[in-house]
Amino acid sequence: MRGNVTASVLRRASRKSLAAFFVAPLAVLVLFVASASAHRRMASSGGAHSGPRLTSELTGSVPTHEGQRIHLSADLGNVVIRTQNSGKVDYRVHLETDASQKDAQQLLKSFTVTSRETPDEVYLKAQTSARSTGRLWATLYLNIPKSASLEVSTGGGNIDAGEIGGRAALSTAGGNITASGIGGPARLDSGGGNIVARSVAGELFANTGGGHITVGSVGGSATLRTGGGHIRVTSIQGTAHLETGGGNITLEHSGAELAAETGGGEIEIGEAAGLVRAKTGGGGIRVVRMFGPTDLETSGGSIYLTQIDSAVKASTSDGGITAWFVAPAKLPGTSELQSTSGDIVVHLPRSLPITIDAQVQRGDEHRVIVDPAFPLKVSYGDSPRGARTVRAEGALNGGGEILRLRTVAGNIQFVLSDVDKQSQIYKQQMSKLQQQMDQVQKTLQPQSSPIEGASGGSQQGTGESSHP
C-alpha cells in the first residue's frame, strides 16, 4: 500500500484496541524487552520506490507458553502473519525510507519493537518516535505458534494472516485484510479496505468502511457489514446478518436465519434453511431454494423464486415476481406477493391444496390469466377510485393455506407447474451460483510467505512520520 499518513494519526488509530474481543484477567505486566533479542541491520538500496533508499531490518524472538494470546499493535505498516511448530514468536521488520531526506538514518532508528508479557498474553508494540519526521515504509513479519490466538492492529497497512489455530482479531485503519483460515471465532475490521477470509471455524464479525467482503465457509454465525462494497459468501452455518450500503449480496448456502440488506444492489441466495429476510433499495432478489418462511422487499427490481415450500411474502414497486411452488407445502402460513406495476407469475403443482385470492387493481388495462387446470372464479368490480378491478378466487384441491396476490398495474398469471422444467431451472441456478463461488474460491487460496522470505515493495506499507 502506498500513501502518506502522519505518525500522530497512526498513533491515534493504533489505540483502538480490540481488547473486548479477548477478555483476560488483570495481571502484573513484566517488561520483556531484553529477552526479545532484537537486532537491527541497515543497508542502502535502490528499493521498490523511486529514488535511492535506505533500508533497515529488526529481528527478534519472544518465548511463549501454551494458552497465551499474541497481541501486536503497530503505528503503521503492513503485517504478515504465519504459524510455526514452536513455542515462541519470531518477528522481522523491514523498513525503508527516502535516502534524500534529512536524518534518514535517524528515522530508521526511531522505529522500535518492544514487548511485555502477562500470564495470558504476549504484547508486541511497533512504533516510531514522536519526534521523528519523514517518509517511512514498513512491513512486519510475525511467526506465531499454530495453536495461539491472535490480536493485531495497524494504523495504516494491510494484514495478511495464514492459518491461525485459535481465535483472531485483525484491525487496520484503512488497508485490506486477508485470512487463510481461522480455527476459532474471528473479528475483522478495516476502515475502508477489502476483507477476505477463506474459512472461519467459529463466529465471524467483519466490518469495512467501503470495501468488498469475500468469505468461504463460516462454521458459526456471521455479521458482515460494508459501507458500499459487495458481500460474497459460500456458506454460513449459523445465523447470518449481511448488510451493504449499495453493493450486491451473494450467499450460496444459509444454514439458519438470514437477514440481508443492501441500499441498491442485487441479492442472490442459493439454498436457505431458515427464515429469510431480504431487502434492497433498487436491485433484484433471487432465491433458488427456501425451506423456511421468507420476507422479501425491493423498491425497483424483480423477484424470482425457484422452489417454495413454505410461507413467502414478497413485494416490489416496479419489478415483476415469478414464483414456483412445490407440493406439498411443509410449513403453514399465508403467502403474499405484491407488485405496484409489474406482472406476477405463479407456477402451481396440479395437486397442491391452496386457496387463491388474486386481484388486479387496474383491470381495464390488465388481466388475470388462469390455466384451465385451475377452477378459479374470475369476477370484475369497481374500485373506490373508479377503476375497474379484476379478481380471481378459488380453493384448489379442497383449499389450504392462502396465496394472496396483488398488483396495481400488472397482469397476474397462474401456470400449471412443469416439474421437469422446475428441476432444470433449479439445477441451472445452483450451477450458476456455484460457478460464481468457484471464481471466489480462487481468490481465497492460501499463500505461503514465511518470515524468512525476502521483503519486497509489493508487501510494504507506507507511513509518514512527523511531529504531532
Mean pLDDT of the chain: 84
**pLDDT tens per residue, range 123-176:** 999 998 777 677 889 999 999 999 999 999 999 899 999 999 999 999 999 899
Q: Which amino acid is at 79?
A: V
Residue 6: CB atoms within 10 A of its CB come to 18
- DSSP track, 248-263: -EEEEEE-S-EEEEES
CB half-sphere exposure, 204, CA atoms < 13 A: 33
What pLDDT is attached to residue 388? 87
Q: What's the predicted TM-score (pTM) here? A: 0.85
Given a cut of 90, is residue 102 above it in pLDDT? Answer: no
pLDDT digits (tens, 9 = 90+) for 375-387: 999 999 876 666 7
What would the pLDDT profile of 378-412 be if each residue is shown by its tens digit?
999 876 666 789 999 999 999 999 999 999 999 99
Q: What number of other Cβ atoms are within 10 A of residue 416's Cβ?
A: 12
Domain boundaries defined on the chain: 1-157, 181-277, 303-434
Do residues 169 and 150 touch, judged by C-beta distance below 8 A? yes
b/e burial code for range 100-136 (CB count within 10 A of at least 16 → b)? ebeebeebbebbebebbbbebbbbbebbbeeebbbbb
Asked whether the predicted pLDDT for residue 46 surpasses 70, the reply is no
pLDDT at 134: 78
- Per-residue pLDDT tens for 302-359? 999 999 988 999 999 989 999 999 977 676 889 999 999 999 999 999 999 999 999 9
Confidence of residue 53 (pLDDT cuts 50, 70, 90): confident
The pLDDT of residue 29 = 30
The per-residue pLDDT for 335 is: 96
| Burial category of 91 from C-beta neighbours within 10 Å (exposed 0-12, middle 13-18, buried 19 and up) | buried
How far is Cα 252 from Cα 112, in angstroms, rounded to an integer?
Answer: 46
Helix (H, G, I), strand (E, B) or coil at 137: strand
Q: What local confidence, expressed as pLDDT, does residue 23 receive?
A: 34
Task: Tell whether the model's pLDDT for residue 13 goes beyond 60.
Answer: no
Q: How large is the average pLDDT for residues 59-70? A: 91
Point out which residues pair with 57 in neighbouring strands.
41, 94
The number of beta carbons lying within 10 Å of the beta carbon of residue 426 is 17
Is the bond preceding 332 in cis, omega lying within 30 degrees of 0?
no
The b-or-e profile of 164-193 (16+ CB within 10 A means b, else e) is bbbbbbbbbbbbbbbbbbbbbbbbbbbbbb
pLDDT for 18 beyond 50: no
Q: Residue 436 pLDDT > 90, yes or no?
A: no
Average pLDDT for residues 428-455, to the nearest whole number? 64
Cβ of 452: how many Cβ atoms within 10 Å? 10
The Cβ of residue 78 has, within 10 Å, a number of other Cβ atoms equal to 27
Distance separating alpha carbons of residues 219 and 410, to the nearest angstrom: 43
Q: Could you count the other beta carbons within 10 Å of the beta carbon of residue 457?
A: 14
pLDDT greater at residue 137 or residue 11: 137
Q: How far apart are CA 131 and CA 467, in angstroms?
A: 5
What is the pLDDT, as a whole number, of residue 384?
Answer: 67
CB-based contact 201:183 (threshold 8 Å) = yes
Tens-place pLDDT, residues 212-241:
999 999 999 999 999 999 999 999 999 999
| Strand ranges (E), 211-343 | 213-218, 222-226, 231-236, 240-244, 249-254, 258-262, 267-272, 276-280, 285-290, 294-298, 303-308, 312-316, 321-325, 335-339
301 near 283, Cβ under 8 Å? yes
The residue among 260, 274, 175 whose CA lies nearest residue 225 is 260
Q: Is 260 left (phi over 0), alpha (psi -120 to 50) or beta?
A: beta
- Please tell me the distance from the alpha carbon of residue 183 to that of residue 67, in angstroms, as a whole number: 14
CA 197 to chain centre: 9
